[in-house]
Amino acid sequence: MRVLITTSGFAVERNASLMSLREAGAEIVVNPMGRRLTEAEARDLMAEMDPVGLIAGLEPITPSVLAAAPSLKVVSRCGAGVDNVDLEAAAAQRVQVRNTPEAPGAAVAELTVGLMLAVLRRICEGDREVRAGRWPSVPGAHLGARTVGLIGFGRIGRRVATLLAPFGCEILASDPAMDVDAARNLGVTIMSMGDLNGRADVVSLHMPLTPDTRHLVDAAFIARLPAGAVVINTARGGLVDEPALLAALDTGHLSGAALDVFEEEPYRGPLSNHPAVVLSPHAGSRAREVRGAMEAEAADNLLHALRDVGLL
């Protein structure tokens, strides 16, 4: 019995569930490349190893990747999202898919608020100027005076609202599965996405990537935002039409943006050259404490699922 770990940097030796799997006779194989795999690399590695269990990162788990491992029974995502896993193909192959929705929430929410502050207060711009030997006046904007619109009000959206409350900003939220009681308790105003678009100075995305939400933030969406608005994305890169975002920044309709996620990663696109953009390398959950909790949850999920299917 073989278990493959493709997410990079996984602390195997400190993971109690993986040690239990070893004691049960499982061979634990770690991604030899130490980075995110391409679809072709993931397919080749799956074909070579044919694992019964996979602890996956963000590599594409497509039908061809799944089909390359006929023994596969469980995919355990080390992370909250499962949009990189073809769920229909997994179900057709009778592969269980688990994720870790709880662990990364606090860290992603913290980074979200940090990015809001970085853009509004122009922290990165000021840092660049001082390092270059200059001492300019860099006027920013006060978060407490902004209206923040949260698109998606699940675990992370609610945590962001909690962190924003002491700043005193007005908080709006739109979500088709809105937790009305949570919104009321946090002083959040519930409204449609269209109404939110017309009022929010800062729009922060906290929703999954699906065919319906791909390029949700497109030219039409951005045009409805107030002049000088800011877009924050710590959810999934495909939610934002990056050329449309850049065009709005170039015209000045958007005063800034902060992105932790991109359609193609590592990101090497033209947003890198825009002074009003803050870029982060998909670091939302990469706090040491959170990463450890995610790894523990992912391995626990794998262990329990393998027991469920009768392999342990």
Q: Which residues are catalytic?
A: 236, 265, 282
b/e map 71-90, b = 16+ CB within 10 Å: ebbbbbbbbbbbbbbbeebb
C-alpha separations of 18 from 11, 141, 182, 222, 302 in Å: 10, 48, 36, 46, 9
What residues have CB less than 8 Å from 9, skipping those under 6 apart? Answer: 34, 291
3-state secondary structure of 140: coil
Counting beta carbons within 10 angstroms of the beta carbon of residue 161, is it exposed (0 to 12), middle (13 to 18) or buried (19 or more)? buried
Per DSSP, which regions of the chain are E strands? 2-5, 27-30, 53-56, 74-77, 96-98, 147-151, 170-174, 189-190, 202-205, 229-233, 254-259, 277-279
